[in-house]
Structure 1
Amino acid sequence: MTSRWRVLKFGGSSVSTPEQWQTILQQVTDNIHQGYRVLLVHSACYGLTNALEEKIKTGHSVYKSIEQRLNTLAQDFAVSIDVFTEDLQQLHQLCELSELNNYQQAELLSWGERITHRLIINHINKTQEAHSLNPKDWLTTTVDDHRNPHSRVLSAKCQVQNNPQLQDKLQHQFYVMPGFFAADESGRTVLLGRSGSDTSAAYMAVLLNAERIEIWTDVDGIFSANPHQIPEAKLLLRLSYQEAREIAASGGTVIHPRSILPAEQNNIPIYIKNSLRPEAPGTILKHEFSPKKPRVSAVNTRHQVTLVSMESVNMWHQAGFISDLFAVYKDLGLSVDLISTAQTNVTISLDAADNVLTPYILAKLKDQLAPLCDVTIIANCSAVTLVGYRIRAMADTIASVVATFADQRIYITTQSTNDLNQTFVVDEDQADKLARALHEVLITRLPERDDFGPSWADLVARRSKTKTITQTWWQQNRQQLLDLAQQHSPCYVYHLDTISRQIDKLKSLTAVDRFFYAMKANSQPDVLSRIYQQGIGLETVSPGEIRRCLEIMPKSDVATLLFTPNFAPIEEYQLALQQGITTTIDNPSLLYLHPHVFQNQSVILRLDPGHGSGHHRYVRTAGEQSKFGIPESELPKLATWCQQQNIHICGLHAHTGSGILDHQNWQRIAHFLARGLRYFTDVRIINVGGGLGIKENPGDTGLNFSALNKSLLEFKKQYPSIELWMEPGRFLVAHSGVLLAKVTQTKLKGNQGYIGLETGMNSLIRPALYGAWHNIVNLSRLDAVCNYTANIVGPMCESGDILGIDRPMPDTQAGDVVLIANTGAYGATMASRYNLREPAQELIFRA
């Protein structure tokens, strides 16, 4: 039998349905027909590991929810649930433990891979012969690992080399092995860390002397930026191992840097492929693809970075001072990312992806460093990293971009001695702006490279079998909008039929029993009427919003309203309850201080799941840094109080943020809220909030509604008596609105273009407040060639009055009409009369 091997690794999103396994097994068959033996390494089915982590994070049992998930998988794959009897017994035992040591955590977190392996082996062997490998028989951790015990068990490392004796034990063509876990020298289960299945595949490829590794995922390969933020991001067809490692380490999520090193050391090519589009070229990593000329290949952004600035004159010329500082980080198990030094200052960054940065941990860090230096902790930062080759040679070009951010805070900048990366740490709300500007100048504008593939937007357009993306409502009605602008600009224009289409899409979520529109997104009366007429309830946060609702609906329909205030006067709660409006409480002190207001009333509690989601810290509405929600630790005391005071809790609610594209988010919220049922047994409603992400940019794929509905139906099977509620706001109205404004002036300062509009942050504050991205076009010259880039600015006397940075635009003149898209949400509702300028008026588009 041939000794030529290929190792194929498939991730969780690729192995979770029988339909996807048809594609996987076709790849196996193709490789066997080409004369190769195949080892297939797989992850756990999508969402299993995240669900198991909840046990470790919260201490609560996750047995019931995971048992239900396994039942669903077994039905989908037509495998008897009896096959998993021992696995379920082990899971139950682990879930019953109040605390788990490191090895028990490893057993728990590897459970997903093990049951997935049993599931797919049973599935594959119905049609073809596949043989199982246990990674603990092949991968043993190194004995000279001197890291802390937690890291040695949960982020273990193995030393591997080509082993012909082990290869001789394999006598078949096709083997299947779960990834992510291995064995220590005593045979106990250890984990290979985040994205450990990639690392398993790389280790096994070295042991087998494989000709190549194929990493199959759900994207086309490695891109020059996050395509969801920068749709012009290019597919990188060829990369050196070093560049790929730097991209992975600086925020790329396609492949883990630890999995690249074994392949690099043994010269095994890595092919990154899309399991949803096997014919796509993907990305190839090889030694021979090392660059020869200066270049930037990628711009990456990592959010939720914390800086620690350590200041002391005692460190100047003091031997061992730095060692003393970093011993504190070692003792606390904190991994340091970036380091910047001066004579009397050392500033480091801590990445939330590699560290648990609770207020307790940060306070302990500050206390332990205090005898050595003055400590300042700066939260809510982001790191923007350039990855390439001989980056210093491009310093002039980089400096020209960074200079435009001179009025913003750049806390530290670091450059690697190997000249492969340069990183800027900035405020979180400036990071995406900086990344877009750098990508535009260093990648998008430069001549095409033969190692660049199509942009992400182009790939999406091709998949839709057309060269252009489907026209929006405003493209189809361009002339009517130009006519409106001549008479009424600046103005918001709303297209009600677009709202109706979004409502139809929302109603495809059959798992959700009731929807409530978060009207703070857009409270225009015609908009509210259209939403109300289509059977969507209205969610309010103030007495003014309640009054607006009652103007467009009969008072007899008051039951279709929700009132969800935050830090409001107690009188507002009294007023809502007196009117019979379902009210949500998100601060227990209200119930403790004013029990007479809530006695004999039914209310909903808003809980804090402990972490938020979304593109910016201002839209993340959970976690200790957010003002919203009741911490889970408060529930036992609160439940006793409510029972004593005869306060009825009819529902539990949580909301993690805005612009979320992870369809599993709402299932996780539902299961989190279900943990509160043990304290509030009369609860009949679980409200999973909103935050459904939209297609922000041309070519975006958006949220997977089918997968979202399936995940919520799984929850409903486990809790059939519970009503599921959802509160989408921006999703319903964002696409319906555009902001039209005439150009007042244009300017060129060096190479920087400016296009000034008659309105700015007084009408649309999202770009200044959140760093939000909106598509901006010159509607008067929509078909003209874009031949330069410009910042789109308003007339406000503020340097932050910027609506778009470095936007490709055609030659533009005063009087042209500029359109800003996706402004139907949080545009007019957040407008102001700053500088005593009137904001844009609101109009309804009538064809």
Structure 2
Amino acid sequence: MSSWVVLKFGGTSVSSVEKWQTIAAIVQQKIQQGQRVLLVHSAASGITNLLTEKTTANRSIQQAVTEVLTTLAAQLGVDPQQLEPSLDLLRSLDDRDHLDTWEQAQLLSMGEQCTHVLAMAYLQQHLDIQSLNPKDWLISSDHDKRATDAQILTAKCDIKPDPAKQQSLTGACYAMPGFMAGDSQGRTVLLGRGGSDTSAAYMAVLLGASQLEIWTDVHGIFSANPHSIPNARLLLNLSYQEAREIAASGGKVLHPRCILPVEQHGIPLLIKNTNEPAAIGTVLAAAHTPKKPRVSAINNRHQITLVSMESINMWHQAGFMGDVFNIYKQLGLSIDLVSTAQTNITISLDNIDNVITDAVLRELKQALSPLCEVEVFRNCSAVTLVGYRIRALADKIAPVLSTFADQRIYITTQSSNDLNQTFVVDEDQADKLARALHEVLIIEDKELDDFGPTWAELIHNQTSKSERIPAWWQDHRESLLDLSRDHAPCYVYHLPTIQHQIEQLQKITAVDRFYYASKANSHPAILAHMQAHGVNLETVSPQEINQVEQACPGIAAADILFTPNFAPLKEYQAALAKGVQVTIDNPSLLFDYPEVFRGHAVILRLDPGHGSGHHRYVRTAGTHSKFGIPASEVEPVAKWCQQHDIEVKGLHAHAGSGILDHNNWSRIAEYLGSCLELFPAAKIINVGGGLGIRENPGDFGLDLAQLNHALTAFKQQHHGIELWMEPGRFLVAHCGVLLARVTQTKWKGRQGYIGIETGMNSLIRPALYGAWHNIVNLSQLDQATEYTANVVGPMCETGDVLGVDRKMPLTQVDDVLLIANTGAYGAVMASRYNLREPAQEIIFPD
């Protein structure tokens, strides 16, 4: 009989009729090649996120889920009434105030189940295909000793080839939903977030498949997260062991648990791109073990919890570690990394395998306290190198780590099989460390085997010119070159691009008032443009208030928001006297000077407890940030304000900058909403800004529709509340470019350098934040790239680097380079360091 091939399609691959047409064609091709096919699929994109909102925030989701499913049904041309039995169960679960863990599993599986109903209705119009129930095939293990919640929500199955099951299937084509399984009593359990990969791997083993194919929206496994490191390279061939380590260390393409089953049974695993079925991908097989030392990938895992256990009694004490680890076993906690010293054991807990709550950590500390002193570090990240014989690369790794000497590396671990090395650092340092290691260990190594093109190259090739949305400067190349002849170095701002961003922002209809954070770019023309188009202005200094008043004559004081931080008292007094709206973020101001604020209405800036963003310097919440009133002070502040006739009319919080998770702002709103009962006069919730932009070609950017949906749901639960938002960079980053002439070029070994006439004195973001800006040779824009070079400035600083390893055409002195997305935090952060004048600012002529 023909061999089986298992095809798994992820959420983005099953969310439109075009994708299902592609799936049907792929399946038909396999059948024509004489193979039998099992199709395993995820839930349509976005549904599981919606379902999770019910389990995490108890937010009603039935309407939103129904809308997504009925829209997909209409696209597929199938009757949505077929969903009613499933939707009845969904509504029943959604109407409950509390769901136990079994009910959560049942609810979260509804995305796959409902998608399966629609998929079968569509596919049966095109294929002779039958449905399989995963609960009849995948049964959770009875030997799982983890916590009950983990057994239900991240279940494991004991799988081996089953000839009897294979013989029960007589057709050529079957389909089943992934992610879910059953326990021995027939109850629904889940295989963990992203567990459809595991479903497919389990089924490949059960069926004795000749091949497993994971179809997703990327070409395969890359050497790093390409959205953080655009020059990450595609890995063409990988051993199972390397792939398993990559997945377990934070790689997003494959679920960590899906590799071991196929590895144990020698089933090749292919990763393919649904958008380009004929394109190359990544192949996992035993034959692809490397022959010489290399690092194949560098990954980050965030939200790692470290537990440090200190005791002098462990020194030369037999069985001490066994006693300690037995406590973790009893609590059902799976340990990830372990580092030991004479009097200390430090371990890490990964959210992938553990449900880590405050209650769990309290119980852990209580159980460990008789044995040792316990300290918990949350919000850490693990940076992991994965490859072959990594110890042999110590001479290359050490210099990179030396540049992080002023940062804390909590633990370092290296596997005994020499396949990985991990550094646990503060979460805000992880991306920076990963980029530095990637440059040295992968990009600079020109002799690596089994590496394909970079992500940026694939995206460029994948997107046809007709599909690309050109940046404004691409249409004005000649005008910009003319400007550069007399004015370079210079920032050039394009007001129509700002108008486009304003229009995009106004699609967030849940927000009642937008305040532009003028610190992002305080050019008078930009301030005037914002105010003329319905965007109010937020300031952080008296000088910014004066700039706003001069740029916008006649502006109402209520349209100016003043949000200073650790500013002199007189600045607050002056703002209050003008009638400007004032935000306070330090309790001591109120406690020490109640007479200054008595009789005034103010907004309080609270600290939601955890910041977000790509770098610690753009994170504006959490204990390591200077901003906001901590949670422990909120109630005392509320009582104090009531006693001293200080009206609190609104609550504000801001997590950070460059955030692409649309749930960030709903989380802030929920936190502020939970504090409203302490402030009866408060009718304003200001969720801050920090909306991320599309930095690189191929980026998806922030989903504004999902953001609007989440904030709308919040407002529906808080009637009479006005929502404010303070975007800065989102409105102006794309409008600005920095033009500078090339002064020199140089080679040092294999490293090329392109020097330009200005540097960190004009644009400090790359040096300060590790920020990435697209850089092109505007003079040679249509020429093919020929080499890789660092783009540097003339400042007497090693850190004066504007771009690392950029692919450039043949570049000559006096060519003009353009640095994109510099309309925000460019000129406003410039200096006269080295007594060099920074770039001037020009409004692009219409």
Q: TM-score, normalised by structure 1?
A: 0.82
Q: CA deviation at 1:542?
A: 4.4
Give SS of 1:77's match: helix
Partners of 1:531 and 1:499 lie apart in 2 by 8
- Name the amino acid aligned to 1:545: E
Q: CA deviation at 1:600?
A: 10
The 10-residue stretch of structure 1 (269-278 or 252-261) with the greater mean CA deviation from structure 2: 269-278
2:779 matched to 1:772? no
The 10-residue stretch of structure 1 (710-719 or 767-776) with the greater mean CA deviation from structure 2: 710-719
Query: For the Cα contact (< 8 Å) 1:786–1:811, is it kept in 2?
Result: yes
Match of 2:464 in 1: 465
Match of 1:73 in 2: 69
CA separation of 1:6 and 1:623: change in aligned 2, threshold 3 A = farther
Query: For the Cα contact (< 8 Å) 1:68–1:714, is it kept in 2?
Result: no
Give SS of 2:347's match: strand
Partners of 1:90 and 1:628 lie apart in 2 by 45
The 10-residue stretch of structure 1 (607-616 or 13-22) with the greater mean CA deviation from structure 2: 607-616
2:383 matched to 1:384? yes
Partners of 1:241 and 1:157 lie apart in 2 by 19
CA separation of 1:116 and 1:245: change in aligned 2, threshold 3 A = same
Partners of 2:678 and 2:112 lie apart in 1 by 33
Q: CA deviation at 1:258?
A: 0.3
Q: CA deviation at 1:267?
A: 1.9
The 10-residue stretch of structure 1 (627-636 or 108-117) with the greater mean CA deviation from structure 2: 627-636
Partners of 1:358 and 1:551 lie apart in 2 by 51
Q: CA deviation at 1:251?
A: 1.3
Match of 1:844 in 2: 842
Match of 1:62 in 2: 59
Q: CA deviation at 1:256?
A: 0.9
Q: Structure 1, residues 330-386: CA drift from partner, whole Å, max 9, x if none?
A: 455544332233444444334455556667766765666565456565555433322
Alignment of 1:241-640 (within 5 A): 241-331=240-330, 333-351=332-350, 354-355=353-354, 369=368, 372-373=371-372, 381-405=380-404, 409-447=408-446, 451-465=450-464, 492-506=491-505, 515-558=514-557, 560-564=559-563, 612-621=611-620
CA separation of 1:80 and 1:29: change in aligned 2, threshold 3 A = same
Q: Structure 1, residues 449-477: CA drift from partner, whole Å, max 9, x if none?
A: 66333211111211333599887666777
Query: For the Cα contact (< 8 Å) 2:663–2:707, is it kept in 1?
Result: no
Q: CA deviation at 1:245?
A: 0.7
Q: CA deviation at 1:126?
A: 6.1
2:131 matched to 1:162? no
CA separation of 1:571 and 1:166: change in aligned 2, threshold 3 A = farther
- Name the amino acid aligned to 1:425: V
Partners of 1:759 and 1:429 lie apart in 2 by 28
Query: For the Cα contact (< 8 Å) 1:509–1:705, is it kept in 2?
Result: no
Partners of 1:682 and 1:626 lie apart in 2 by 28
The 10-residue stretch of structure 1 (461-470 or 384-393) with the greater mean CA deviation from structure 2: 461-470
- Name the amino acid aligned to 1:69: V
- Name the amino acid aligned to 1:44: A
Q: CA deviation at 1:718?
A: 7.2
| Runs (5+) with no aligned partner, structure 1 | none
Query: For the Cα contact (< 8 Å) 1:584–1:606, is it kept in 2?
Result: yes
Q: CA deviation at 1:95?
A: 4.8
Q: CA deviation at 1:227?
A: 0.9
CA separation of 1:241 and 1:611: change in aligned 2, threshold 3 A = same
CA separation of 1:802 and 1:511: change in aligned 2, threshold 3 A = same
CA separation of 1:427 and 1:624: change in aligned 2, threshold 3 A = closer
The 10-residue stretch of structure 1 (557-566 or 265-274) with the greater mean CA deviation from structure 2: 557-566
Partners of 2:646 and 2:111 lie apart in 1 by 41
The 10-residue stretch of structure 1 (815-824 or 71-80) with the greater mean CA deviation from structure 2: 815-824
- Name the amino acid aligned to 1:199: T
Partners of 2:367 and 2:462 lie apart in 1 by 55
- Name the amino acid aligned to 2:59: V
Alignment of 1:168-179 (within 5 A): 168-179=167-178
Alignment of 1:674-823 (within 5 A): 689-697=688-696, 699-703=697-701, 708=706, 726-739=725-738, 763-775=762-774, 792=792, 795=795, 820-823=819-822
Q: Structure 1, residues 271-295: CA drift from partner, whole Å, max 9, x if none?
A: 2222233333222222222223333
Q: Structure 1, residues 411-452: CA drift from partner, whole Å, max 9, x if none?
A: 443322222222233444543333233323333233476633
Q: CA deviation at 1:503?
A: 3.9
Q: Structure 1, residues 78-127: CA drift from partner, whole Å, max 9, x if none?
A: 46776555545544554565554432332233233333333444454566
Give SS of 1:825's match: coil
Match of 1:829 in 2: 828
Match of 1:144 in 2: 143
- Name the amino acid aligned to 1:844: I
Query: For the Cα contact (< 8 Å) 1:141–1:157, is it kept in 2?
Result: yes
Alignment of 1:17-56 (within 5 A): 17-56=16-55
Give SS of 2:516's match: strand
Partners of 1:811 and 1:502 lie apart in 2 by 34
- Name the amino acid aligned to 2:69: L
Q: CA deviation at 1:814?
A: 10
Q: CA deviation at 1:497?
A: 4.6
The 10-residue stretch of structure 1 (619-628 or 241-250) with the greater mean CA deviation from structure 2: 619-628
The 10-residue stretch of structure 1 (635-644 or 780-789) with the greater mean CA deviation from structure 2: 635-644
Partners of 2:343 and 2:395 lie apart in 1 by 29
Partners of 2:768 and 2:51 lie apart in 1 by 36
- Name the amino acid aligned to 1:154: L
The 10-residue stretch of structure 1 (138-147 or 329-338) with the greater mean CA deviation from structure 2: 329-338
The 10-residue stretch of structure 1 (741-750 or 391-400) with the greater mean CA deviation from structure 2: 741-750
CA separation of 1:146 and 1:591: change in aligned 2, threshold 3 A = same
Percent same amino acid at aligned positions? 60
Q: CA deviation at 1:254?
A: 0.7
Q: CA deviation at 1:687?
A: 6.0
Match of 2:114 in 1: 115
CA separation of 1:787 and 1:190: change in aligned 2, threshold 3 A = closer
Give SS of 1:454's match: strand
Match of 1:236 in 2: 235
Partners of 1:602 and 1:69 lie apart in 2 by 41
The 10-residue stretch of structure 1 (610-619 or 143-152) with the greater mean CA deviation from structure 2: 610-619
Q: Structure 1, residues 209-267: CA drift from partner, whole Å, max 9, x if none?
A: 22322222222211111111221111222222111111111111011110111111122
- Name the amino acid aligned to 1:62: R
Match of 1:205 in 2: 204
- Name the amino acid aligned to 2:452: G
Partners of 1:125 and 1:781 lie apart in 2 by 53
| Runs (5+) with no aligned partner, structure 2 | none
- Name the amino acid aligned to 1:74: T
Query: For the Cα contact (< 8 Å) 2:607–2:628, is it kept in 1?
Result: yes
Partners of 1:405 and 1:331 lie apart in 2 by 38
Give SS of 2:109's match: helix
Match of 1:15 in 2: 14
CA separation of 1:429 and 1:743: change in aligned 2, threshold 3 A = farther
Give SS of 1:465's match: coil
Q: CA deviation at 1:838?
A: 7.1
- Name the amino acid aligned to 2:62: I
* Matched pairs, number: 840
Partners of 1:347 and 1:754 lie apart in 2 by 43
Q: TM-score, normalised by structure 2?
A: 0.82
The 10-residue stretch of structure 1 (104-113 or 148-157) with the greater mean CA deviation from structure 2: 104-113
